[in-house]
């Protein structure tokens, strides 16, 4: 597991905890984020920000600088490697079904990237899905040819202004640090994409905020949340999705 500010941990069935890694290339993990395990035992994980901790995630995003990294950990050698750097809030991570690439999300860029770990493209990073309708968090493969991407908030007018104008970002950072920032997050949910990154469906609710994860088990979709202490369960046979397309 990879809890924020704790590092990469191994927990045995008896509850014993072993710290596997807390830094890479001499730089400590700031916001330990997501981890996935390949079939060959290699762990791939993201440090969303080497500068800020989880409580300051909004400051990192508003600052707009690439402090994120994608890394690998080999249990046989106990070595940690940085395989992709200068990422914009590197978030969720997931292996491809064929184990030839790993997908990770860049939240403020509204896209998911893939890094090839083997094959002719080994070492190459390219876009998997871009121009999403919201800011991606975690990504999970359902074993049925689809990825579910958690969307904490859709792309709003306020966030669009913040992306375009540094002054507005500075104001939002000030409010985040010293005051209560007005809520600009809305319509959280999940997006469904196929193995080629094509957007298929969208599930969202105007009242939801900060949905980070969507996991499909049987006929139900389970939604995790960053700020609320509950899990949403949605029966997919009873509630239709919204058709969606990428942001223009």
pLDDT digits (tens, 9 = 90+) for 139-180: 999 999 999 999 999 887 777 787 788 888 888 777 877 776
The tokens describing 187, both together, are: 């319509």
pLDDT of residue 248: 45
Beta bridge partners of 202: 191, 242
Q: What band does 13 get if pLDDT is binned at 50, 70 and 90?
A: confident
| Separation in Å, CA 157 to CA 127, 164, 186, 216 | 25, 11, 11, 31
Whether the per-residue pLDDT at 233 is higher than 60: the answer is yes
Region class of 27: left (phi > 0), else alpha (psi between -120 and 50), else beta: beta
pLDDT of residue 193: 97
Beta bridge partners of 191: 149, 202
Chain segment 15-52, per-residue pLDDT in tens: 899 999 999 999 999 988 899 999 999 999 999 999 98
CB 131 within 8 A of CB 110: yes
Instruction: Give percent of the chain with pLDDT exceeding 90.
Output: 63
The CA distance from 170 to 189, in Å, is 28
Query: Of the given ranges (37-51, 61-75, 80-94, 220-234), which has the lowest mean pLDDT?
Result: 220-234
Cα end-to-end span (Å), the chain: 37
- Name the CA radius of gyration of the chain, rounded: 18
Instruction: State whether residue 5 is helix, strand or coil.
Output: coil
Instruction: Please tell me which residue, 89 or 206, carries the higher pLDDT value.
Output: 89
| Burial (Cβ within 10 Å: 0-12, 13-18, ≥19) of residue 226 | middle
What's the CATH fold of domain 1-130? Neuraminidase (2.120.10)
pLDDT of residue 247: 53
Spans of all domains in the chain = 1-130, 131-248
Q: What band does 243 get if pLDDT is binned at 50, 70 and 90?
A: low
Which helix (H) or strand (E) segment holds residue 129: the answer is strand 125-129
Task: State the virtual CA torsion across 177, 21, 91, 6 in degrees, nearest 10.
Answer: -40
pLDDT of residue 246: 52
pLDDT of residue 163: 78
Whole-model pTM: value is 0.89
The tokens describing 67, both together, are: 């402090």
Dihedral sign for Cα 105, 109, 110, 112, please: negative
């Amino acid at each position: 597991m990879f809890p924020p500010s704790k590092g990469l941990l191994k927990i045995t069935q008896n509850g014993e905890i072993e710290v596997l890694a807390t830094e890479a290339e001499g730089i400590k993990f700031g916001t330990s984020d997501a981890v996935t395990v390949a079939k060959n035992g290699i762990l791939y994980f993201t440090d969303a920000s080497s500068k800020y901790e989880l409580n300051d995630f909004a400051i990192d995003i508003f600052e707009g600088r690439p402090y994120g990294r994608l890394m690998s950990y080999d249990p046989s050698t106990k070595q940690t490697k940085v395989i992709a750097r200068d990422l914009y809030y590197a978030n969720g991570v997931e292996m491809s079904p064929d184990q030839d690439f790993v997908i990770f999300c860049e939240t403020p860029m509204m896209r998911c990237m893939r890094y090839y770990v083997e094959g002719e493209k080994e070492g190459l990073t390219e876009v998997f899905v871009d121009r999403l309708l919201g800011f991606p968090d975690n990504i999970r493969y359902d074993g049925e040819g689809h990825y579910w991407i958690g969307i904490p908030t859709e792309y709003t007018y306020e966030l669009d202004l913040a992306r375009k104008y540094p002054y507005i970002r500075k104001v939002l950072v000030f409010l985040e640090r010293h005051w209560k920032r007005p809520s600009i997050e809305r319509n959280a949910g999940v997006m469904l994409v196929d193995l080629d990154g094509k957007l298929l469906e969208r599930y969202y609710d105007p009242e939801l905020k900060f949905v980070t994860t969507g996991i499909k088990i049987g006929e139900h979709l389970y939604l995790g949340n960053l700020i609320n202490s509950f899990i949403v369960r949605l029966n997919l046979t009873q509630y239709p999705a919204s058709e969606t397309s990428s942001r223009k």
